[in-house]
Amino acid sequence: MKKPLVSPIDRNSNPELQEMIDFYNETLGFTPNSLFTMMHRPRISEAFLEMNQSVMENKGRVTSALKRLIAYLSSMTTGCRYCEAHAIRAAERYGAKQDKMNHIWEYKTHPVFNDAERAAFDLAIAASRVPNEVDDEISENMRKHWDDGEIVEIMGVIALFGYLNRWNDSMGTMLEKPAVDSAEKYLTKDGEWEIGKHIY
């Protein structure tokens, strides 16, 4: 793309942006360009912020780091380079082990992952594919390792990033430098990640 479908608003144009800016500065160290694009219709950005805070809230076993690894796998499955970079950056900031970030695509066999994590990752990939590939085997394995509330949390992450993947890939949102730095640190080892359309 020669330019984003819609350019972000000026981040200094609206004093009501401060709550959003504070939340994302804590999460990522910067506020994503995607949120400033949503601000063309403030109710959308406000609703998204509330959904994001609710989904990413830490309730227990589905840790903040695990949620970001789920978000990464979901985004990688759909091919959204913007969200892959954001998710791996957030995983790093929320304490995901380096071994897990380095071997995320070997999760089925690598000893750093446990069976509950493998079940969640299988769900993330199957639920992110079109057409959807969640079946009885994946569902039964999830119920074996996670209770209903935890499954809702995990599906909340997958669904949230389904929205973000479509938003950012369609908008061609420009990727911020800190997210590029994290992606290049963790995701370029096998030549799998590239910035794609998200640079201008």
Domain CATH for 113:
1.20.1290.10
pLDDT at 175: 96
Q: How many CB atoms are closer than 10 A to CB 59?
A: 10
83 located within any domain:
yes
* Residue 99 belongs to a domain: yes
pTM: 0.94
The dihedral of CA 147, 152, 156, 159: what is its sign?
positive
| 10 falls within a domain | no
Q: Give the per-residue pLDDT at 34.
A: 95
Q: How far apart are CA 114 and CA 94, in angstroms?
A: 19
What is the total count of domains within the chain? 1
Range of the domain at 127: 16-186
Question: Looking at the domain assignment, is residue 7 inside a domain?
Answer: no
Q: Which residues of the chain register pLDDT less than 50?
A: none
Q: Quote the pLDDT of residue 190.
A: 61
In a domain, 134, yes or no: yes
Whether 197 is in a domain gets the answer no
Flag whether 2 is in a domain: no
CB 134 within 8 A of CB 123: yes
Q: Is residue 192 part of a domain?
A: no
* Cα 132 from Cα 124, distance rounded (Å): 11
pLDDT of residue 24: 84
